[in-house]
Amino acid sequence: MFRFVIQRLLQGLVVLLVLYTLSFFLIKTLPGDAFTGERAISPEAVAVLKKRFGLDKNWVTQYGLRLKRLVVQQDLGVSPKKNREVALILRQSFPPSVLLGLNALLVACAIGIPLGILSAVRKNTWFDYAAMGFAMIGICVAAFIIGPLLQTQIAMRIPALKVAGWENPLDWILPAITLGLAPAAYLARLTRGGMLEILNQDFVRTARAKGVPPMKVITRHTLRGGLLPSVAFLGPAFATLISGSFVVETIFQIPGMGRHFIDATIDRDEFLLLGCVLYYGFLIVLLNLVADIIQAILNPRLRESL
Partner 1 sequence: MSASPPKNIEKGTSLWKDAWLRLRRNKVALGSGVFLVIMVGLCFGLAWFTGHDPNQQSLTNKFAAPGDGHLLGTDQMGRDLFSRILFGGQISLLVGFVATAVAFVIGILYGAISGYVGGRLDALMMRIVDILYAIPFLVLVILLQEVLSSSAGDASEWLVKNWNFPEETTYRFANILPLFIAIGALGWLTLARITRSQVLSLKQQEFAQAAVSLGLKPMRILIRHIIPNTLGPAIVYVTLTIPSFIMYEATLSFLGLGIKAPNSSWGVLIKDGANYMETQPMLLILPGLFFTSTLFALNFLGDGLRDALDPQAAKD
Interaction mask 113-152, partner 1, x per CB under 8 A: ----------x------------x--xxxx-xx-xxx-xx
Position among 107, 111, 121, 285 found at the interface with partner 1 (CB under 8 A)? 285
Q: Does 14 bind partner 1 (CB under 8 A)?
A: yes
Residue with Cβ nearer partner 1 (47 or 247):
247
Residue 110 as a binder of partner 1 (CB under 8 A): the answer is no
Would you give the binding string for partner 1 spanning residues 149-178, x where CB under 8 A is met?
x-xx---x----------------------
Q: Is 247 in the site for partner 1 (CB under 8 A)?
A: yes
3-state SS record for 56-117: CCCHHHHHHHHHHHHHHHCCCCEECCCCEEHHHHHHHHHHHHHHHHHHHHHHHHHHHHHHHH
State the binding string over 264-283 for partner 1 (x if CB under 8 A, else -).
-xx------x--xx--xx--
- CA distance linking residue 218 with residue 190, whole number of Å: 16
Distance of closest approach, residue 123 Cβ to partner 1, in angstroms: 7
Are 218 and 143 within 8 A, CB to CB?
Answer: no
Between CA 42 and CA 277, with CA 76 as vertex, the angle to 5 degrees is: 100
Report the chain's C-alpha Rg in angstroms. 24
What end-to-end distance do the CA atoms of the chain give, in Å? 6
Distance CA 187, CA 35 (A): 45
CA gap 191, 294 in Å, rounded: 17
CB distance 87 to 74 below 8 Å? yes
13 is a contact residue toward partner 1 (CB under 8 A): no
Give me the least distance between CB of 32 and partner 1, in Å please. 8
**29: contact with partner 1 by CB under 8 A:** yes
Binding site for partner 1 (CB under 8 A): 11-12, 14-15, 18-19, 22-23, 26-27, 29-31, 123, 136, 139-142, 144-145, 147-149, 151-152, 156, 193, 196-197, 239-240, 243-244, 246-247, 250-251, 261-262, 265-266, 273, 276-277, 280-281, 284-285, 288
